[in-house]
Amino acid sequence: EHMDASPWQTSLREFRLGRLAADQLVATAADTCERTEAFFYAGYAQKTQGNKRKAAEYFQAAINEKAYSYKEYAMARYFLAQ
């Protein structure tokens, strides 16, 4: 375990490892920035599984958080435009 990881970093790691569901990841997000990341990574996971409709919903949710400076905001816009 990474003892210096924040609770949010731990949640992201658990999601990437398949130990945390997307809705659980979103539920652990404490603010706009974390929700932007949660929605983007949930959308990206759906995209890689071929579920374009669900991916688009998550990407739109990430955009709706309006965390303009976050790379996840820009990437969500990019993937939604494809």
pLDDT tens for each residue of 58-79? 999 999 999 999 999 999 999 9
- Percentage of the chain beyond pLDDT 90 is 90
Of 25, 37, 28, 81, residue with least CA distance to 61: 37
pLDDT over 70 (residue 30)? yes
Q: What are the CA-CA distances from residue 58 to residues 1, 2, 5, 6 (Å)?
A: 29, 28, 25, 24
At residue 1, the 3 state secondary structure works out as coil
- Phi first, then psi: what are they for 69, rounded to 5°? -85, -10
pLDDT of residue 5: 74
